[in-house]
Chains A and B, each alone.
Chain A
Amino acid sequence: MAKQLPRISVQHLSKEFKLPHERHSSLKSTILNFGQKKTYERFRALDDISFQVEEGEFFGIVGRNGSGKSTLLKLLANIYTPSGGKVNVNGRLTPFIELGVGFNPELTGRENIFLNGAILGLTQKEIESKYDEIVAFSELDRFMDQKLKNYSSGMQVRLAFSIAIQAHNDILLIDEVLAVGDANFQRKCYKVFKDIKKSGKTVVFVTHDMGAVQDFCDRALMIEDSKVIMIGKPREVALRYEMANLPGRSAGGNEPGSDRPENPAVKIDNVYVVGKNNKLQTVSQEDSFEISIDYTVNVPTEIQFNLFLTNQEGRYLCGINTTVALENFKPEKGSHTLTCHFDGGQLNKGEYTAAAAIYTYCKWPSNQKPELIDVFDVTYGENLPRIKVLDEPTYHSGMFNVKARWE
Chain B
Amino acid sequence: MASNPSSAAVRRTLLRQLVITDFKLRYQGSFLGYFWSLFKPMMMFGVLFVVFTYIIPTGKDVPHFPVYLLLGIVIWTFFIEATTMGLGSIVGRGDLIKKVSISKISIVISSILSAGVNLALNSIIVVIFMLFNGAEVNWLLVPFVPLLLIELIVFAIGLALILSALYVRFRDFAPIWEIILQVLFYATPIIYPFTLAFNAHPTIAQILALSPLTQIIQDLRMILITPATLTTHQVLPVVWSYVIPSVIVLSLITFGYLYFKKRSKYFVEDL
B172: which of A26, A97, A114, A123 is its contact (CB, 8 Å)? A26
Please indicate the chain B residues that have their CB under 8 angstroms from the CB of A91 in the complex.
Answer: 1, 4
Q: Are B5 and A101 in contact (CB under 8 A)?
A: no
CB contacts (< 8 Å) of A25 on chain B: these are: 169-171
A18, A91, A119, A120: residue with the most chain B Cβ atoms closer than 10 Å: A119
Residues of chain B lying within 8 A (CB to CB) of residue A104: 21, 25
- CB nearest to B29 among chain A residues: A106
Q: Is B47 an interface residue (CB 8 A)?
A: no
Asked if A114 meets B170 with Cβ closer than 8 Å, knowing A77-B100, A80-B268, A123-B9, the reply is no
Contact residues, B10-65 vs A (CB, 8 A)? 10, 12-14, 16-18, 20-21, 24-25, 28-29
Q: Tell me the bound Cα distance from A25 to B270 in angstroms.
A: 9
Residues in B neighbouring A119, C-beta threshold 8 A: 14, 17, 96, 100, 102
- In whole angstroms, what is the CA distance A120 to B103 when docked? 11
The answer for the CA separation of A17 and B268 in the assembled complex, in Å, is: 11
| Contact A98-B99, Cβ < 8 Å, known A26-B171, A115-B17 | yes
CB of B100 within 8 A of CB of A97, answer: yes
Given A79-B268, A101-B99, A106-B25, decide whether A28 and B172 contact each other with a Cβ distance below 8 A.
Answer: yes
The answer for the CA separation of A305 and B77 in the assembled complex, in Å, is 76
Within 8 A of B (CB), among A84-120: 91-93, 95, 97-98, 101-102, 104, 106-107, 111, 114-115, 117-120
| A81 lies within 8 A of B24 (CB) | no
Q: CB-CB < 8 A to A81: which residues of B?
A: 265-266
> What chain A residues lie within 8 Å of B102 (beta carbons)?
119
Q: Which of B18, B24, B29 contacts A118 (CB 8 A)?
A: B18
Contact with A along B77-89 (1 / 0, CB 8 A): 0000000000000
Q: B25 to chain A: which residues have CB within 8 Å?
A: 104, 106-107
Nearest residue, chain B, Cβ from A76:
B101
B178 at the interface (CB under 8 A from A): no
Q: How far is the CA of A28 from the CA of B172 in the complex (A)?
A: 8
Please state if A111 and B21 are interface contacts (CB–CB under 8 Å).
Answer: yes
Residues of B within 8 Å of A93, CB to CB, are: 101
A124–B100 CB distance below 8 A: no
Chain A residues contacting B9 (CB-CB under 8 Å) are: 123-125
Complex Cα distance, B75 from A43, in Å, reads 48
Q: Per-residue 0/1 for A14-41: is the Cβ within 8 Å of any B Cβ (1 yes, 0 no)?
A: 0001100000011110100000000000
Contacts of B24 in A (CB 8 A): 106-107, 111
**Cβ distance A305 to chain B, nearest Cβ, rounded Å:** 45
When chains A and B are docked, how far (Å) is the Cα of A121 from the Cα of B6?
10
Contacts of A74 in B (CB 8 A): 268
CB-contacts of B216-252 with A (<8 A) = none
Cα distance A93–B24 when bound, in Å? Answer: 29
Known: A25-B171, A115-B21. A124 touches B96 (CB 8 A): no
Asked if B14 contacts A92 (CB within 8 A), the reply is no
Distance between B227 CB and nearest chain A CB, rounded to angstroms: 44
Q: Are A123 and B96 in contact (CB under 8 A)?
A: no
Closest residue of chain A to B9 (Cβ to Cβ) is A123
The answer to whether the Cβ of A335 comes within 8 Å of any Cβ in the partner chain is no
Q: CA separation between A77 and B96, bound complex, in Å?
A: 13
Complex contacts, B13 vs chain A, CB 8 Å: 117-118, 122-124, 127
Complex interface: chain A residues within 8 A of B171 (CB): 25-26
Residues of A120-147 contacting chain B, CB below 8 A: 120-127
A17–B101 CB distance below 8 A: no
Q: B14 to chain A: which residues have CB within 8 Å?
A: 118-119, 121
Q: Which residues of chain A are near B173, meaning CB under 8 Å? A: 27
B101–A27 touching, CB < 8 Å: no
Question: What are 24 A-B residue pairs whose CB atoms fall within 8 Å in the complex?
Answer: A17-B269, A26-B171, A26-B172, A27-B173, A28-B172, A78-B101, A79-B268, A80-B268, A98-B99, A104-B21, A106-B29, A111-B20, A111-B24, A115-B17, A115-B21, A118-B14, A118-B18, A119-B14, A119-B17, A119-B96, A123-B9, A124-B12, A125-B9, A126-B5
Extra contacts, 6 of them, besides A101-B99, A102-B96 (Cβ < 8 A), are A80-B268, A81-B265, A101-B95, A106-B25, A122-B13, A124-B12
Chain A residues proximal to chain B, CB less than 8 Å: 17-18, 25-28, 30, 74, 77-81, 91-93, 95, 97-98, 101-102, 104, 106-107, 111, 114-115, 117-127, 170
Pairs of residues from A and B, 3 with the lowest C-beta to C-beta distance, nearest first:
A118-B17, A78-B101, A27-B172
